[in-house]
Amino acid sequence: MNTVLQITPNYAYNMNMRSNSQNINFKGSLGDKFVKEIINDVDVKPADLIREMKGTFGIKTDKAEDILESFIAKVKQLYSDKRGLKSELQKSNEKINAFPKEKENAVSEGQRQVRESFQGVVRSKDSELSAKDAQLKEMKSQLEKYQQVVKVKSVEEAGTIMPDRAVELMEELIKNKVSARKSMAEFLLTGKGQEEALRQIERNNMIMKAHSDGITQIPEVEAKMKEMQKSGMYFSRDSYFTTTFIEKALKGSPKGSYIKSKVIKDQIKANAMAILSPMADERYSNTGVKAIEQELDKSLANVEKYHDGLSKGIEKIKGRIGKDYEAVDFNPVEFSPESSKVVITDETGTIWTEDYNWVANYGNSSW
């Protein structure tokens, strides 16, 4: 009996399924493969995709899903990246658009800071220049004020003079005693009006030169010199003569008591040193600027003491001596303490006369 093997359709279908199942990829790998190839610039055609999706009886659902899922995921990723890129691009555009304004603001702020800094420097320099201008103006004023001091000849510069001129100078020294002291006091207190005072200093210097040349030993000159001394005038070294001159001018001035104010005293000293400084001779210890300043300080202290004593002395005389005598008269002479007198009288007449130097000493005394 011949046996004929027949293959049924069901058997053939099962065999075919087993053969095809060996070529099926896991879900997702097939689509990722095509996505990767596209990204790597491989020429993937639609026919390639369809061929891979086909099964025995047409398009296989799982393969199509695999490929489409990968494609959809990639598209979503690209879309998301695009949105992120668009957002970043928008932010960048905003920054770019804002940059000109920021740049303008930065430039404006920088200019403002530079301008303020420059203006501050300019204001500072303007202030310094104003101060310098004021200082130069003051110096110019002082130079103009004291230029005549420079013109005063020292003893060494004065030429030899004849006896008749020496007598004439001594007469001028006596005659101009009060006007010269007034001139000196005005200068010390106000900084002006020093012309007559400077002429008196120059007269002294010329007489000193005549004395050093032996002219004062001539009889008629010597006689005039004694007359001059009797009037309270003495010639001497220029700086010493001037400090004594300053002291007597301030003692005789009605405003001499202003020296009690430190501010006024400092100004008086500054004006006095303007006259005295050119007379300094640093070759000797007693004629240098420092020595002259010390001598001036003593003279100013004497002035202050004099005015204190004078006011006290007048009150003491009125209160004590005035009780015992008929009359006490005060006869002041401006700029001349030695000519200013207190006259005490009784019923028989004048019995006592003293000058204002004595009155000041009496006021400062304990008796």
pLDDT tens-digit series, residues 200-259: 999 999 999 999 999 999 999 999 999 999 988 999 999 999 999 999 999 999 999 999
Domain match, 286 and 328 both: no
- The predicted pLDDT at position 326 comes to 77
Please give the Cα distance from 35 to 25 (Å, whole number).
15
d(CA 104, CA 99) in angstroms, rounded, equals 8
Question: Do residues 216 and 273 share a domain?
Answer: yes
Q: Within a domain: residue 20?
A: no
In a domain, 9, yes or no: no
Mean pLDDT confidence for 7-19: 41
pLDDT above 80: residue 341: yes
Regarding whether 216 and 85 lie in a shared domain, the answer is no
Residue 109 pLDDT = 76
Q: Which of 46, 22, 44 is nearest to 33 (CA)?
A: 44
Q: At what angle do helices 289-316 and 238-252 cross, to 10 degrees?
A: 30
Q: What is the pLDDT of residue 24?
A: 39
Residues 206 and 333 in one domain: no
Q: What is the total count of domains within the chain?
A: 3
3-state secondary structure of 58: strand
Buried b (16+ CB within 10 A) or exposed e, 335-357: bbbbbbbbebeeeeeeeeebbbb
103 sits in the region (left: phi over 0; alpha: psi -120 to 50; else beta) called alpha
| Residue at 7 is within a domain | no
Q: Are residues 174 and 215 in the same domain?
A: yes
Asked if residue 3 has pLDDT above 60, the reply is no
Domain final residue, candidates 34, 64, 99: 99
Distances (CA, A) of 238 to 7, 53, 345: 160, 133, 42
Q: What is the pLDDT of residues 127-176, one digit of tens each?
A: 776 776 776 676 556 555 555 555 566 655 656 789 999 999 999 999 99
Amino acid residing at 298: K
> In angstroms, rounded to a whole number, what is the distance separating the alpha carbons of residues 276 and 262?
20
Give the whole-angstrom CA distance, residue 250 versus residue 306.
Answer: 10
Name the CA dihedral angle for 21, 25, 26, 30, rounded to a multiple of 10 degrees.
Answer: -150
Round to the nearest angstrom and report the end-to-end CA distance of the chain: 187
With respect to residue 121, please indicate whether it lies within any of the assigned structural domains.
Answer: no
pLDDT of residue 14: 42
Exposed/middle/buried for residue 33 (C-beta within 10 Å: 0-12, 13-18, 19+): middle
Region 55-76: mean pLDDT is 64
Within this chain, do residues 242 and 350 fall inside the same structural domain, yes or no? Answer: no
Give the closest residue to 322 by CA, choosing from 348, 351, 344.
Answer: 344
What is each CA distance from 77 to 66, 74, 82, 164, 260, in whole angstroms?
17, 5, 8, 129, 101
Q: Mark whether 42 and 164 lie in a shared domain.
A: no
Whether residues 176 and 197 share a domain: the answer is: yes
Tell whether 60 is covered by a domain: yes
Domain membership of residue 117 (yes or no) is no
Is this model's pTM higher than 0.85 or not?
no
Pick the last residue of a domain from 300, 327, 355. Answer: 300
- The CA-CA-CA angle for residues 313, 318, 320, to 5°, reads 90
182 & 258 share domain: yes
159 and 243 share a domain? yes
Asked if 218 and 354 sit in the same domain, the reply is no
The listed range with the strongest mean pLDDT (62-66, 90-94, 121-125, 354-358) is 354-358
**Dihedral angle computed from the Cα positions of residues 85, 91, 95 and 96, in that order, rounded to the nearest 10 degrees:** 40
Residue 161 pLDDT: 85
Report yes or no on 8 lying in a domain.
no
Inside any domain, residue 203: yes
Q: 191 with 68, same domain?
A: no
> Which of 300, 325, 344 is the endpoint of a domain?
300
Q: Which residues constitute the domain of residue 239?
A: 155-300
